[in-house]
Amino acid sequence: EPEVTQTPSHQVTQMGQEVILRCVPISNHLYFYWYRQILGQKVEFLVSFYNNEISEKSEIFDDQFSVERPDGSNFTLKIRSTKLEDSAMYFCASSGLAGGTDTQYFGPGTRLTVL
């Protein structure tokens, strides 16, 4: 069964450092998303991406965040200068059709710890 994969599973970084979280969406999917979940809180939408551009982003997704699809398979989330409050689980998701008409499948997540 096709699945979304994410690397690394756990990233520890110092405050102010840049991190790149990587995702490989399901191969025939066209829509990609990042969500985050702070420990003990609900899953929150960050950004959606289609046709090599951002479709929608939340208030959380400020100038410190960026996304990229550098090749035909990877989808990355970059945080330029990490803050303590960026510590969370980051989930990548993909769907074959626009998110409201098709199921979003989630990767296993990257746990980001900012010290």
Q: Torsion-angle region of residue 92: left (phi > 0), alpha (psi -120 to 50) or beta? A: beta
| CA gap 97, 26 in Å, rounded | 12
User: Which residues in 24-43 contact other proteins (CB under 8 A)?
Assistant: 31, 33, 35, 41-43
Three-point CA angle 54, 64, 36, nearest 5°: 70
Size of the site for other proteins (CB under 8 A): 27
SS3 97: coil
Q: How far is the CB of 62 from other proteins (least distance, A)?
A: 16
End-to-end Cα spacing for the chain: 37
Q: Is 100 in the site for other proteins (CB under 8 A)?
A: yes
When binding is defined by CB under 8 A, the residue of 82, 104, 112, 114 that contacts other proteins is 104
When binding is defined by CB under 8 A, the residue of 11, 26, 48, 79 that contacts other proteins is 48
Residue numbers at the binding site for other proteins (CB under 8 A) = 31, 33, 35, 41-45, 48, 55-56, 58, 89, 91, 95, 98-101, 103-109, 111
